[in-house]
Amino acid sequence: MPKQTVHGFLFTLTGVLSVFCSTSVLAQDPQFSQFYAAPLYLNPAFAGSSQQGRVGLNYRNQWPGVDANFTTMSAFADFYIEDKNSGVGAMITRDYVGLVGLQSISLAFQYAYQLRLTQKLSFRPGFQAAIYQRSINFGRLTFGNQFDPNTGEFIGGDSGEGLSGGNRFFPDLSAGGLFYTPNAWLGFAAHHLTRPNNSLVGEDSNLPIKLSAHAGWKFFFRPGVMGQGVYARKAERSIAPAVQYRKQGPFTQMDVGTYFTFEPIVVGTWYRGIPFKSLNNIINHESIVLLVGMTLKGAKDVLNIGYSYDITISRLGPGTGGSHEISLVYSWPTRNPRKPPKDKLIIPCPDF
């Protein structure tokens, strides 16, 4: 490997490190394609939104075909407290970048209040307090002076870079809100309101505030029937166009698509990107997302299972392996059955 190539590799690696370790402008949060299956990650206002007890698990493997792949896991639990019109939740999330051993773990707690504004309009403000632990394995990094300049062979030895640290804890605050009717919803959230310093190499690097908005409308059709006789019940038939927009630092992203529900099956497809905007003269086309999900309902409990695949349409190409995502969400009733239920609206947004 000629010396210029080694320097090119080092420059690329330095760029990767600057994105994830020390440059506040370029830092980004991980994302889920099944964002409604990760409701507490999307917006703290969703805490308790199922009006039941709920636990969930989300797993995402992004770009498995390359070394710099991302894996993200998130587990959450939330509950609705009917007497207090309140929802509470907790969530733990781990994000890992394989190339440089960069890891971020967060533990967050949410609270949301359910407020009935009119007969057909409700509002839920929500708040989140979290603590983050961010680390990097400097032992996985190599530098130009550890390669033979003539052959390109790795010869090892001390890099002489003198890197230290590599571990940081910091608190964080977020907030959001959600308006909804029996057919529509509009939510917004602001994460990292405190702009915490998340640098791993000594210099201050403030995490940019992530602003997001999500909205949609569900069109209900004549319901079908599942089961027979005394076990027969209505089965949802609907179509729900939806959109999500995110901005963090100079980066913006948008998801536009539609969910089709033919209970117990849900399928969805959407486009991720902003075709009318470019960054560094590169048009922002990222992926086409395909989803298939199943809703299994018992007498009172519900299990949602979802799988989605992101088809990469950016310049990275299909060699990345796309992105695979799995979600499991289980909910069950927690209210006292002997008490008459309060009159309240149910959020119509999809579960995947």
- The Cα–Cα gap between 346 and 85 comes to 13
Residue 234's pLDDT is 86
How many residues in total does the chain contain? 352
Determine the 3-state secondary structure of 233 from DSSP. strand
Determine the 3-state secondary structure of 172 from DSSP. strand
Contacts of 48 (CB under 8 A, 6+ apart): 78, 79, 80, 81, 86, 87, 88, 89, 112, 114
More confident residue, 321 or 145: 321
Contacts of 6 (CB under 8 A, 6+ apart): 144, 147, 149, 152
- The Cα–Cα gap between 88 and 47 comes to 5
More confident residue, 192 or 277: 192
Residue 167's pLDDT is 83
Residue 278's pLDDT is 67
Q: pLDDT tens digit string along 325-335?
A: 999 999 999 88
Q: pLDDT tens digit string along 206-250?
A: 899 999 999 999 999 998 887 777 667 888 999 999 999 999 988
Across 159-173, 188-202, 328-342, least confident range: 159-173
Residue 319's pLDDT is 73
H-only helix segments in the chain: 3-17, 39-42
Is pLDDT above 50 for 8? no
Across 10-14, 79-83, 298-302, least confident range: 10-14
- The Cα–Cα gap between 265 and 17 comes to 42
More confident residue, 284 or 20: 284
Q: pLDDT tens digit string along 36-48?
A: 999 999 999 999 9
Percent of the chain with pLDDT over 70: 82
Domains and CATH numbers, the chain: 3-332 (2.40.160.40)
